[in-house]
Each structure stands twice: as C-alpha cells, then as structure tokens.
Structure 1
Amino acid sequence: MTRRRELNVQLAVRVPNELVEALDRLVPERHATRAEAVRAAVEDYLYRVACERDAQRYAEQPLTDNELALTDDPDAWSATPSW
C-alpha cells in the first residue's frame, strides 16, 4: 500500500530498543522502509481513534427505530440518491 503524497514534516521520537527491533523484523516482509511502517501505524491508530469516537457518539445518541429499520431492508435505500 504505497501512496505518493507530499511529505513535509519530520517527527523524531524515542522508542525502546525492543520496539525498534520488532519493527525492523517486520519491515522487510510488509513495508519498503521503517518510515513507511511507522507512517502506516500512525494512520491505523488515527483511524482506530476515529472509529472509537464514532462508536461513542452512537452510544450517546443511538439510532432511532426508523433508522435501524433501514439496515434490515436492502430495498429501503433504493430512493437514496447515488452520490
């Protein structure tokens, strides 16, 4: 999953040696570089946090019965415009 994008900020972080060693074992089989692996991990973390935030919002304001009914009927979405 290599994406071309403008990179303009460099982060410097300190991590335990064990974490770096585990990362370096993983990189050759999954990523082109250590930086790419760290970037992917940060993206995954941010996505997970966003999902947890969404879940919390749904817990605070659950779907109505009418909204839930839409999930049970695949034809219920037929009138929804295709954007």
Structure 2
Amino acid sequence: MSKMITVRMSDDRVAAIDALVASGRASRAAVVVEAIDRLVADLERERIDREIVEGYTRIPSTPEEDAWAEWSARESIREEPW
C-alpha cells in the first residue's frame, strides 16, 4: 500500500530535483523516494555503528582476542591473489 503526501520545497530544491529527472531519473517522486531511502539507510548504519562502539566500550576485547584478530587480518591479506 502506498500513500500520497504533499511536501513544500523551495524553488532551488525543485530545480535540483528537476535536474536529476532530466539526467535520467524516472520522476520527481522517484528522486524523492530514493533520497528518503538513502537517508533511512544512512541512519540505520549510524545506529548500528553506535551500537558496535557502545558494545566494545562496555565489554572491551581481551589482548588474546586482539592478537587473534590481527593474525586473522594478516592471513586474509596474505591469501589474497594480488
């Protein structure tokens, strides 16, 4: 299900949207929906990042875990066929 919403925008914003439409975007609505989707995805990534930092702050890794992570990273790089 979808709903129609009305949004007021400055002439400059509408002109920017119209330029995107002219460059190949499907429509004004498609531009707005894509922008909202990107914003929502960015905010979700930021939330996840914060939770990861908070988790490691609350329960820091041990020296053994750090050593294992470093070894694993070096092995992954060594195994790459560059």
Residue among 9, 16, 20 paired with 2:10: 16
Deviations 1:19-69 (A, max 9, x none): 111111111214111101111000000000000101111111127454972
Q: Which has the larger radius of gyration?
A: 2
Structure 2 residue aligned with 1:38: 32
Structure 1 residue aligned with 2:44: 50
Question: How many residues align structurally?
Answer: 68
Q: Secondary structure at the match of 1:61?
A: helix
Q: Secondary structure at the match of 2:52?
A: helix
- RMSD across aligned C-alpha pairs, in angstroms? 2.4
Unaligned stretches of 5+ residues in structure 1: 1-6, 75-83
Q: Secondary structure at the match of 1:18?
A: helix
Structure 1 residue aligned with 2:80: none
Unaligned stretches of 5+ residues in structure 2: 77-82
Structure 2 residue aligned with 1:29: 23
Query: For the residues of structure 2 that align with 1:64 and 1:36, how far apart are their CA atoms?
Result: 44
Q: Relative CO higher for 1 or 2, CA cutoff 8 Å, sep ≥ 6? A: 2
| Percent of residue pairs identical | 24
The residue identity in structure 2 corresponding to 1:8 is S
